[in-house]
Each structure stands twice: as C-alpha cells, then as structure tokens.
Amino acid sequence: MERSLNKMKNNNINSTRSNMMKDNELFHVIHKVPCGDTPYVKAKHAQLIEKNPEMAIVWFWKAINTGDRVDSALKDMAVVMKQLDRSEEAIEAIKSFRPRCSKNSQDSLDNVLIDLYKKCGRMEEQVELLKRKLKQIYQGEAFNGKPTKTARSHGKKFQVTVQQEISRLLGNLGWAYMQQAKYLSAEAVYRKAQIVEPDANKSCNLAMCLIKQGRFEEGRLVLDDVLESRVSGSDDCKTRQRAVELLSELEASLPRGRDAEMEDFLGNMLDDDFVLGFEERTATSLKPKRLPIFEQISSFRNQLVC
C-alpha cells in the first residue's frame, strides 16, 4: 500500500514537472523567445516580453562582445535601433562587427543595411549596395547555383526564387533613383523589374517616373494596366487607390513639350556608371535613349526561362 502511494506521488510530481516544461516551451514558442539564460536570450526577453528596447540593446551588445549568437544579435540589435531612430548608429555597428558574423548571415545583414540606408536618406550607399547584390546574383554567388534560397521574415522561413529576389532588388534600386530625381534611370530599372516579375506596385512607380518626365500618355497606359487588373497585385486596395491618385495627378497636369533642352536635362539625370548601352524607343516615337540596365540579368533570366 505504501509503495503504491509513493508511486502515485512520484507520478504526480513527474506529471507536474512535465506540464511545467510544456508550459515553459509553449511560452517560448508563443513569444518567440529562445530558451536559456545567455545575454542573447536576455536581450530577446527584454525586447519581446518586457518591451524595453533600450535594455534589449544593452544585452545585444553583451551578446556580441561575448560571442553569443553574434549573427542574430547584430541583426536584431540593428532592427531595434532603427525603431528607436538610431539608424546611423545601427549602420556603424553592422559595418564594424559584421566581420565577426558567418558567411551565411552576410546577405541578411545587407538587407538590413538597405533598409537603414533608406531610413537615413543615404541613397548613394543604398544604390551601390543594391547594384553589388544584383551583380552577385548574376555571378551565381547569392543562390549558390540554386533556383531558390531560404529567407526569414518576422520569425518565419520561406523560399525566395531568383526572379523574386531580382525583382525586389530592382524595385528598391528604382525607388532609390527616384529619390535622387534620376527618373530615366528609375524608369529603366522598373521596366526591367516588370519583365522579370510583373507587379502592380512597381507599375505605379513606373507611371510616376513617366509623369515626372512629362510622358503622360505612357503613364496613363501603365496605370490602365493596374486599374483594369492586367498586372499581378492589382486587386490590392491600397495599390488601386494609389493608381487612381496618380491618374488624377496625371490628368491635372498640363502637357509639356519635350524640346532639345528638356532632352538634354533629362539625359543628365542618368546614372552613367549603370548605363550599359540599352536602347528603348517609346510609344510616342521619342528618340532612342540609352537607359541604365543590367543586360547580364536579362541574359540570366532568359536562361531560367529556357
């Protein structure tokens, strides 16, 4: 009888411990906090549970300095810094400590840097990084010769194709050119992105480039594709609303002449280092104009299609 009671008692204790362990595991899964008591774990706890970003940064620094999950600590710290409007500090941190990170983490650090450059308005550096990443894809360095790679966003993993990555990078590059008022460069990049993977949001950006150049009929045709759902993503409410607003802006603008002086002015906006001899004749019979484009990427895409 006594043995039976002791056995039942032990079973209850083991059951309680098991339930506590399950609850603990469930807590970490729900809040996406790793287990343990290391500086990185404490940083994530401060960031996600305590909602104390300043303390999280302190612990992230300790994790980096002690070699505790440096890849994740550096990237996560930069994200938190960006949220606190400390983007310049985050950029310097990545540049200083990325040599300590593994080769596999460099791509994700580049993506964080792209966002930070955009946040700080450091367009020249953003453009150079985007161009470098596009060249890496062409040279087969980014995907290791594979058609897809694993990416992570908000704690979830997903597969990204070569076409999707090229289109994303070209979209970012086009936007950076627009911020520099290099509308011809932006136009060429957006057109290439639409060839790789058509997208309604990029169509709106392309239309904006055309409107900025006074090429209203071409801009209208691009917006019509969105409003008539001929482009992927046209059913997104925000994108459609943006297309409607751009169309209103276009219709409210007065036609402008494209004389030789304007041609020279727009031509000077091109990013000469990015021009590789591509010529495009527009629907309005404009003179052929050299546009900045990655001919290598075009060839690479053709290989993929074949």
Kindly report, residue by residue over 225-283, the tens digit of the pLDDT: 999 999 999 999 999 999 999 999 999 885 655 544 555 555 555 565 554 443 343 33
Average pLDDT for residues 116-121, to the nearest whole number? 95
In this model, does residue 205 exceed pLDDT 50?
A: yes
Burial code of 96-122, b = ≥16 C-beta within 10 A, e = fewer? ebbeebeeebebbbbbbbbbbbbeeeb
State yes or no: pLDDT of 289 exceeds 60: no
Whether pLDDT at 138 is above 70: yes
DSSP element (H, E) containing 65: helix 53-66
Give residue 8's pLDDT.
Answer: 59
- What's the pLDDT tens digit per position in 166-192? 999 999 999 999 999 999 999 999 999
Q: Which is more confidently placed, 93 or 11?
A: 93
**What local confidence, expressed as pLDDT, does residue 157 receive?**
75
- Residue 32 pLDDT exceeds 60: no
pLDDT at 26: 39
Compute the Cα dihedral for 224, 229, 235, 236 and give only its sign.
negative
On the question of pLDDT at 118 being above 90, the answer is yes
User: Per-residue pLDDT for 110 more than 70?
Assistant: yes
Contact 115, 82 (CB under 8 A): yes
- Ranges of each domain in the chain: 24-102, 198-253
What was the pLDDT predicted at 151? 72
Taking all residues of the chain, what is their mean pLDDT, rounded to a whole number?
80
Q: Is the Cα torsion angle 296, 131, 169, 47 positive or negative in sign?
A: positive
pLDDT in the model for residue 42: 94
**Does residue 13 or residue 158 have the better pLDDT?**
158
What pLDDT shows up at residue 158? Answer: 75
Percentage of residues in the chain having pLDDT higher than 70: 70
Q: What is the pLDDT of residue 141?
A: 79
